[in-house]
Homo-oligomer: A and B are copies of this chain.
Amino acid sequence: MALERGGAAETAPSDPTGGGKDWLTPSEQAVWRRLLAVHARLMLRLDEDLRAATGVSLGDYDVLVALDEAPGRSLRMGDLAQRVMLSPSGLTRRIDRLAARGLASRRDCPSDGRGSLASLTAEGRQLLAAAAPAHVRSVRRYLLTPVGPGALGDLDAALGRICDALDADRC
């Protein structure tokens, strides 16, 4: 059973529970599953390409980019954790690894003795400069170009509406 009601029509059955329809039509189910599969494959490909070219993962790259864009190429641990969607402890350990490889470093926060600042090292900046062009080409080749210039705006709008739906139910 699961996601779909057998062989049936493209119209979902009536709603017994009052909140919304209880089943996905075949085409809805197809899109949903395809979304999961394609997203996974896309991320895997970008990660593989990046690792092969630079030795850093997509997640590491995201951290380096965030630091590079920050004023002074430094960010508070908490802010950086949010930006890269990691837990505080998760970021602590990722910065540990990046620091061990010489790509990032730590400084004490001047304004708040409790805080730490993660910073991008010269070596990290160098890696970013070397890796960015190929990575950007990959994003374009596997996502932006296939979606098409005309549909990018539609995609952005849809993403915005999903965001709103998520926010609406947020307690």
Contact = CB atoms under 8 A, between A and B. Distances in A.
Given A3-B152, A133-B17, A158 B141 contact: no
Contact of A31 (B37, B45, B137, B152): B152
Given A1-B149, A141-B169, A146-B161, 10 more contacts: A22-B136, A27-B152, A27-B153, A32-B139, A32-B143, A42-B166, A45-B166, A143-B162, A151-B158, A155-B155
**Which 9 A-B pairs rank lowest in CB-CB distance, beginning with the nearest?**
A1-B153, A146-B161, A2-B65, A146-B162, A20-B137, A22-B133, A146-B165, A34-B159, A38-B159
22 contacts: A1-B128, A1-B132, A1-B153, A2-B69, A3-B136, A3-B152, A20-B141, A22-B133, A24-B136, A24-B139, A30-B156, A31-B152, A31-B159, A34-B160, A37-B85, A38-B163, A40-B85, A143-B162, A146-B164, A146-B165, A148-B158, A151-B158
